[in-house]
Amino acid sequence: MIPLPNLHAKNAGYLVNGEVKIVVEINDLEVIGKLDVSEESEETNQPLKKIKLDDNDAVSFDSLNETSPVKESIDVNGFQVLPSQVESVKCIFERHPDFASKFRPKNRHLKSTYMTVLLGLIKTLCQLPEELTDDDLDEASVAVSYVENGGLRLDWLEKKLAEVKAKKKKVETGKARLQRAEEELQKLNQKCLELKAFLEKENADVSEANVPLSFEDVV
């Protein structure tokens, strides 16, 4: 605290033309933190991550609950989609023109949500069957029912889901058979090594015994 007499004292450096002037000098400036700015990653047409049922048995999708910046949307047959989704949505309508003819929701945000779920389903089914867990496929079945309840016709997607399930089962049973075959092959290889060693020993014994006696040996 600066004493009041010091403020009014002449040549004290505080009063200049009747006004108080205080100069603060900072010798060092220490950086105590830094801003960490991560690169923005665009996640469109991502596989379904998790499907949950809330207390009202409503379906929620973790992949849809993630916050993302507002992006430009484009209208494709009444559905507002991201630019990166346009070609995929157009392809769906080209191959299945009537799949949304009985779609009930009118709210554009809700329609976009249904389409995002559908694209996530398709992305999920495009993964390698062995990479999909049983939970993934169960959640995909729930998601299909959820989207169909909105009025979308997905009989074609149900067939593909059944096909992927069959492929996954075939992969699992095939890998199990391969594992058993490899184990049997290892046993056979070991048996071959043992037989080879036995043959070498028998050949050595036969060669040792199959030697004629000399005259000196006989006499």
- 20-70 tens-digit pLDDT: 444 444 444 343 333 333 333 344 456 665 544 444 444 454 544 444 455
Dihedral of the alpha carbons of 146, 147, 149, 155, in degrees to the nearest 10? -110
Average pLDDT, the chain: 76
pLDDT tens per residue across span 115-129 = 999 999 999 999 999
Please state the rounded mean pLDDT for residues 190-219. Answer: 89
- Beta-bridge mates of residue 15: 20
Q: Could you give the CA distance from residue 44 to residue 1 in angstroms, rounded to a whole number?
A: 61
CA atoms lying within 13 Å on the CB side of residue 32:
2
Residue 181 — pLDDT band, cuts 50, 70, 90?
Answer: very high
Which of the listed ranges 5-19, 38-52, 92-106 does the model predict with the highest average pLDDT? 92-106
Q: Identify which of 1-10, 72-81, 189-198 has the greatest average pLDDT.
A: 189-198
Nearest to 92 by CA among 78, 73, 105: 78
Q: Which two tokens stand for residue 38?
A: 């991560």
CA 57 – CA 101 distance, rounded (Å): 26
Strands 15-16, 19-20: pairing kind: antiparallel
Q: Do residues 95 and 89 make contact, with C-beta atoms less than 8 angstroms apart?
A: no
- Does the predicted TM-score (pTM) go above 0.75? no
